[in-house]
Amino acid sequence: MKKKFYYWANDINENSGEGILGNNFLFLLKKKYPSFKMINLNRYKKRHTFFYNYIAPFLSLPYLHFYNLKGYKTSYINYLPIWNFLLILLMPQKTLLGPITGSDLKKNFLYIFFKFLGIAVLKIKYKYLLFSHEQFKKFFKYNKNIKYNFLLFNFNNKITVLKKYDFIFYLRKHNNKGNFFLIQLIDYFSKYFTIAIIGDYLDNFKNKKNIFFFGNISRSKARKIISRSKFAVGTRENLFSFFTLDCLSYYLDVFYNKNFKINKSIKTNLLHSINFDNPKKAISKVRYILSKKRKKYFYLKKENFLNYLDKS
């Protein structure tokens, strides 16, 4: 009989960022524990509601504590933002944490307060941690046992194909995505170039020439459209969203928020910083990059994330 490994995953949908992150971590667990039967404790089906996003994660706690006391291996995989200090505080210490997410760019006072509480709890409670990106690296610089940039796990370059669209954008009805800035760029560049848009529909571009809207589609379909595009604009709150990573895998030039720094493990001429707070300067920078011809390259030094599981 197989040994059992109990985990709580809030999202394992292959078409969402959290879901992709969760599936990648689950893949790592299965590789580390091949003789174990993996059992998801989360039985809630309804997604993207207040209950599911903010209450359901706490329902994992009695299950994880119970199976911990029984001596089983356990893991809490996703919906683990750094601001949720209470969830981190109440989590069984022996439960293996999945990638910690969140943003260090938000200016909301309450968010900043909760973020620092989360950082304090993590420092006191855990020696080994895994982060989806490296925005919080500056707060843990004396801890050498932390792994960063799990978003880059399983990243691979693809074969490029003939291009149909000049730009591709990913839009979500969410303030963090910097939609006002993206809308301004789309409005300007659609006068001169073909634009592909995936994600939530916005009335701003109804019946506009040169704009092709594809809606919320599967990741595999999104990749097909990405592969036929030349340039992309990332999101405000994240340097390496899965949209950006898919664009880089097909050698698209990607314009990203200048507030981020590129990790030293990456060598590329595909990433271009622009000012998300100044559309005029951003447009000027994009036009300059469009005028340049060069041989593209992207090199990534792979991280061994299994080390995190070995030590935890």
pLDDT in tens, 222-254: 999 999 999 999 988 889 999 999 999 999 999
Confidence class for position 274, pLDDT limits 50, 70, 90: very high
What's the pLDDT score for residue 124?
95
Distance CA 54, CA 247 (A): 31
What's the pLDDT score for residue 1?
58
The mean pLDDT of the chain is 91
What's the pLDDT score for residue 294?
86
Q: Which of 12-16, 111-115, 152-156, 214-218 has the highest mean pLDDT?
A: 111-115
Q: Residue 123 pLDDT more than 70? A: yes
What's the pLDDT score for residue 5?
97
CA angle 113, 117, 118 (to 5 degrees): 115
What's the pLDDT score for residue 312?
75
Angle between helical axes of 179-189 and 279-290 (0-180°, round to 10): 50
Confidence class for position 175, pLDDT limits 50, 70, 90: low
What's the pLDDT score for residue 174?
63
Homologous superfamily in CATH for domain 165-300: Glycogen Phosphorylase B; (3.40.50.2000)
Q: Are 166 and 226 in contact (CB under 8 A)?
A: no
What's the pLDDT score for residue 15?
78
Distance CA 143, CA 55 (A): 31
